[in-house]
Amino acid sequence: MTSVAKAGLVVVGTLAALAIGGVVFVGSGIYNIGADDHHTKIVLAIIEQLRERSIGVRARTIDAPDVEDPKRIAAGAEHYAALCVGCHLAPGVTKSDIRPGLYPHPPNLAQEDSRDAQRAFWTIKHGIKMSAMPAWGKSLDDAAIWDIVAFVRKMPVMTPEAYRQLSHGRSG
């Protein structure tokens, strides 16, 4: 047998062993799917990179409308108070019953910098697989999602009082 053929056999053998190992791992039930058991550092790093690249590549071709329009920001605040605050908090809303049990942990959007409007739009419209982040594009049109984006970008500099007024007291 030539050395090339030998190397080929080693590669095929290794791949077969990995495939069998994967089937045994899945079939054994040894993996804990519970949301109260966290990923290892390496798995977390891979998932984070996968999410960053996936969203980054898809978001960059989106055309953003004027997200500074106060009417948009006000309309977005109402949607946000109705749909998002339980998971993502808001100015003056610092905890909720659903947040502690969510994994991956939803970012606190009252503090997080969401100024990249295209990324926020893509994430809100399409959601994130294997996390609790829903694809809001299934129930909201693009205009409503841009309203929400306009509002979310302003949250880190918004006072609790301004949020209460914009959301008409539906503060969470």
Residues that bind ligand HEC (CB under 6 A): 51, 80, 83-84, 86-88, 102, 104, 106-107, 112, 114, 120, 123-124, 128, 131-134, 136, 148, 152
CB 138, CB 132: distance < 8 Å: no
In the complex with ligand HEC, the residue whose CB is nearer, 89 or 164, is: 89
List Cα–Cα distances, 59 to 41, 72, 73, in angstroms. 27, 20, 21
If the CB atoms of residues 3 and 139 are measured against ligand HEC, the closer one turns out to be 139
Q: Which is nearer to ligand HEC, 26 or 44 (CB)?
A: 44
**Is 136 or 164 the residue whose CB approaches ligand HEC more closely?**
136
Q: Which residue is nearest to ligand HEC (CB)?
A: 84
- Closest by CA position to 64, among listed 111, 136, 125: 125
In Å, what is the CA distance from 22 to each residue of 19, 27, 28, 46, 162? 5, 8, 10, 18, 53
Residue 35 C-beta: closest distance to ligand HEC, Å: 10
Closest CB 165 distance from ligand HEC, rounded Å: 19
Whose structure tokens read 């399409």? 126
Least distance between ligand HEC and beta carbon 15 (Å): 30
